[in-house]
Structure 1
Amino acid sequence: MSRFWSQVVRDLTPYVPGEQPKIANLIKLNTNENPYPPSPRVLAAIRGELGDDAARLRLYPDPNADLLKAAVARRHGVTAQQVFVGNGSDEVLAHAFQALLKHDAPILFPDITYSFYPVYCGLYGVAYRTVPLTADFSIDPADYCGQANGGIIFPNPNAPTGRLLALDAIERILAANPDSVVVVDEAYVDFGGDTAIGLVARYDNLLVIHTLSKSRALAGLRVGFAVGHPALIEALERVKNSFNSYPLDRLAIVGAVAALEDEAHFADCCARVVASRERLVGELAGLGFDVLPSAANFIFARHPQRDAAELAGALRDRNIIVRHFKLPRIDQHLRITVGTDDECRALSDALREILA
């Protein structure tokens, strides 16, 4: 701590990202990265943007990223005026907290959810109240209806649980809160859910946020976007242009467009992850784990007879990294990213050895 710190910095409890260890022969199942490479069109687009001498890099990118907004609009059947893009979905979320969720009343989000939400609240001075998940770790829409609030945000599927909320349940929350913005964070929806973007035309209080880090395998490019009513998008643009007019570089823009346009690669990649997830669920269930239903590219599991921290440590000794959260209600669970079939098999074999 320094005497030069502001009170805001003194009071912050920063988000702790998943570990990125530099270990040889590591099986990395802790940060929900896609186990497969992005579309080959991405690299081709980046090479094309660079040209022979990379001279274009001396020029600023398009501050509006119009090519990318148009690609998102085509993909989801909306207009470009309903699309906002940013440097990963985390930046889009940050702008949403400041532009749309900072009101007199507290916002609502689940007690077990993406741990960046309370961090943003601390950074931007947003009051909040957590809503407990049910006993089976699902979101009950009734808990979000009939309450005065400054906004609602939740991931769907939820993280770190992986549980999915049906679209009719989301619509129930929207209809019950017409004067509150409802932000649905769909980072993992492509692995087993239906996007709520189709509801945007009927609900002017809905903002849906996506990332290209997961299902499009572009975590290294940092691209996210939001879809909502043009008035919500304008609010995000006002914050963005008061913070950083150029959040996406030239290579990220063209790479993201190429990824969005390769539907066949996207569908095949998601299908492979889902198939691996179901096999992994079966393997872990056979080893005695309780595994929550998952619609994401990860699973959330606990072993009734073994301590989660000890299991995570034993896996690490075998160069396999999973995520363990030391938080109430979930400190005996492990969040395990779905890797390739070979990686999942190595995980199962290691757990079988540890449990034996």
Structure 2
Amino acid sequence: MNPYWSPLVHRLSPYVPGEQPKLPGLVKLNTNENPYPPSARVIAAMREELGSDGANLRLYPDPNADRFKDAVVTHFAEYALAPNQVFVGNGSDEVLAHAFMALLKHDAPILLPDISYSFYPVYCGLYGVEHIAIPLNADFEIGIDDYRPGNGGIVIANPNAPTGHLLPLTDIERLAAANLQSVVIIDEAYIDFSAPAIPTAIALVNRYPNLLVIRTLSKSHSLAGLRVGYAVGDASLIEALERVKNSFNSYPLDRLAIVGASAAMEDKDHHEKTRQAVMHSRALLTAALVSLGFEVLPSAANFIFARHPQHDAARLAAELRQRQVIVRHFKLPRIDQHLRISIGTAAQCQALVDALRQVLG
């Protein structure tokens, strides 16, 4: 027990991010990054902002990131949003963190799936938010009727992680309508990889003042290294997030991130091209794994969740690593025999299949 630590720090069980190895030549399929580069417009916008001498970097960025908020409003023009319905942060993890503090810290416990993004219970521990884990069914699906009123809030990833299961928009609306007394947060980190793309829950925010939709540019826009996330919801929810943000860090996005993220949102053609490429590779990889005897859950994300009934998942992950292929294995109840495999390029997916053939004999 370190005497300099606060009691809170002693109690925390921090989130463990996916490994970012420094070894050369790895086929890295463990952290759900997009295998394709971002839009060329992103690079051009950042170079223009930087200028020939980088003089702009001596100036603080826009604390409100108005250019990016306007880009989000334009990107989702069919939903008639206003800029005050958009909140931005340093990655969707920061946006989620502020949401837990601003909107979910109440007397009643919040509801979470028992198998989902493992950062959610970490935030509960950090902010002292009581939570109840709602079990997924035997097929690892979320049952909307299990999330009953009387809670302090609901947080669901859609598609869910690490399972890839997708809830239709009708279920999201039913969830929001049945829980008007609390905030319903839908984390759409992977929604753009649903095929065909279902309407985002942003379509519902002007009807349900308790609905907050959180998204990221890390996955479908290939900008995991830029750290940009955002939330869309009723202006009153956004105001709460802004109050927390401006009590923590008024400048969450730097100048390059603001212009780069804005350019990414504006290039819809590039976004669609890479989205389609990932979904195509997902279908091919799923078929290849099934042919090798794997059981693969249906996925609407840029990863698949699979198990082999005759082979231990931890051993498979270790054997793949020896062959320069890294996937994600979770040592958690109910899923310790599954592997989460990010969708890579066609060549990366083939390297994985070739390595598995060697391992499985």
TM-score (norm 2): 0.98
Q: In the TM superposition, what is the alpha-carbon distance from 1:289 to its structure 2 partner?
A: 0.3
Match of 1:127 among 127, 130, 134: 130
Q: SS at the partner of 1:209?
A: strand
CA contact (8 A) 1:108 1:130 kept: yes
- Structure 1 CA distance for aligned equivalents of residues 113 and 169 of structure 2: 17
Q: Which residue in 2 is equivalent to 1:318?
A: 323
Which residues of structure 1 form unaligned runs of 5+?
A: none
Alignment of 1:145-224 (within 5 A): 145=148, 147-192=149-194, 193-194=197-198, 195-224=200-229
Q: SS at the partner of 1:316?
A: helix
- Structure 2 CA distance for aligned equivalents of residues 7 and 41 of structure 1: 47
Q: In the TM superposition, what is the alpha-carbon distance from 1:24 to its structure 2 partner?
A: 1.4
Q: In the TM superposition, what is the alpha-carbon distance from 1:148 to its structure 2 partner?
A: 1.2
Q: Which residue in 1 is equivalent to 2:4?
A: 4
1:263 matched to 2:268? The reply is yes
Match of 2:286 among 281, 290, 294: 281
1:339 matched to 2:341? The reply is no
- Structure 2 CA distance for aligned equivalents of residues 354 and 237 of structure 1: 51
Which residues of structure 2 form unaligned runs of 5+?
A: none
1:118 matched to 2:113? The reply is no
Give percent identity, aligned residues only.
68
- Structure 2 CA distance for aligned equivalents of residues 225 and 284 of structure 1: 35
CA contact (8 A) 1:23 1:319 kept: no
Q: SS at the partner of 2:242?
A: helix
- Structure 1 CA distance for aligned equivalents of residues 24 and 180 of structure 2: 52
- Structure 2 CA distance for aligned equivalents of residues 50 and 176 of structure 1: 48
* Deviating 4+ runs (over 6 angstroms): none
- Structure 1 CA distance for aligned equivalents of residues 137 and 188 of structure 2: 20
1:227 matched to 2:229? The reply is no
Q: Which residue in 2 is equivalent to 1:32?
A: 32
Q: SS at the partner of 1:93?
A: helix
Letter of the aligned partner of 1:86 in structure 2? Answer: G
Q: SS at the partner of 1:84?
A: strand
Q: Which residue in 2 is equivalent to 1:103?
A: 106
- 1:170-215 per-residue CA deviation (whole Å, 9 max, x = no partner) reads 1111111011100000000000042100000110000000000000
Letter of the aligned partner of 2:99 in structure 1? Answer: A
Aligned-pair Cα RMSD in Å = 0.6
- Structure 1 CA distance for aligned equivalents of residues 328 and 227 of structure 2: 21
Q: SS at the partner of 2:327?
A: strand
Q: SS at the partner of 1:254?
A: helix
- Structure 2 CA distance for aligned equivalents of residues 172 and 286 of structure 1: 38
TM-score (norm 1): 0.99
Letter of the aligned partner of 1:342 in structure 2? Answer: A
- 1:107-138 per-residue CA deviation (whole Å, 9 max, x = no partner) reads 00100000000000000000000000010000
